Amino acid sequence: MTTALVTGANRGLGRRFAAELLQRGAKVYAAARRPESVDLPGAHPIALDVTDPDAVAAAAALATDVDLLVNNAGISTGATLLGDLDGVRAEMDVNFWGTLSVVRAFAPVLAANGGGTVVNVASALSWFAFPGSGAYAVSKAANWNMSNALRLELAGQGTQVTSVHLGLADTDMAAGFDGPKTDPAVVVRRTLDAVEAGDLEVVVDEWSADVKASLAEDPRTFYARFLTT
């Protein structure tokens, strides 16, 4: 039986990941800064602030049977790179450093349990930026290439690393944005099915696929829609 730990499991995609894993018969540690806010019957709430090294170490010491780590916790402050530097640092602290901290703590746990899998929830914004998204885009680009590097570093212990990329999901984080939004249940099902199939990257929606494909083109073509003269 799979034993999973999901960060940011009290709402949004994290809650949906935890719920779907429970439905699939997994044991689930539902991690959140406020574990009392986890309302999923059958889940094991666990306190975890990914930016607190002591909390991360405590979670890894408690959840010693984990073989699937879902790094879902993330923030979006709306900070720009030339604007609020505290916001930029906050996004990097959670979306990159926090995720890396959790992986570092759980890598020995996964090794002891046969290798297992790390799932890092990134974004289509790993591959582009638009006005007002600077800090988030940079943090998710770092998250994506972190997955690529971890895939190499963890290969020797048999750990699969899967990176997840999507546009807007219909969650609280995307509430202020217009545009098509993917049902969180669809995001989660596609991700977990891909993990079971051994896929190393999940491109959830058509928008994300188009953005990734644009990387092979002249960037002037893609960014013409955002740039003003």
The rounded Cα 168 to chain-centroid distance in angstroms is 13
3-state secondary structure of 69: strand
pLDDT the model gives residue 226: 82
Active-site residue, from 140, 181, 212, 223: 140
| Beta-carbon count within 10 A of 22 CB | 17
Q: Which residues of the chain have pLDDT under 70?
A: 168-181, 228-229
Q: In 3D, which of 118, 170, 182, 110 has the Cα closest to residue 148?
A: 118
If you write DSSP's letter for every residue of 153-203 in order, what string do you get? HSGGGT-EEEEEE-S-BSSGGGTT--S--B-HHHHHHHHHHHHHTT-SEEE
Nearest to 16 by CA among 188, 176, 158, 208: 188
* CA neighbor of 24 nearest in space, from 32, 36, 16: 16
Domains and CATH numbers, the chain: 3-223 (3.40.50.720)
| pLDDT score for 174 | 47
Phi, psi torsion values for 76, nearest 5 degrees: -135, 110
Q: What is the pLDDT of residue 180?
A: 66
Options 136, 181, 212, 223, the catalytic residue: 136
Look up 27 and say whether it is catalytic: no
Task: Let me know: does 27 contact 3? Beta carbons within 8 Å.
Answer: yes
Active site annotation includes 140: yes
Tell me if 72 sits within 8 A of 17, measured CB to CB.
yes
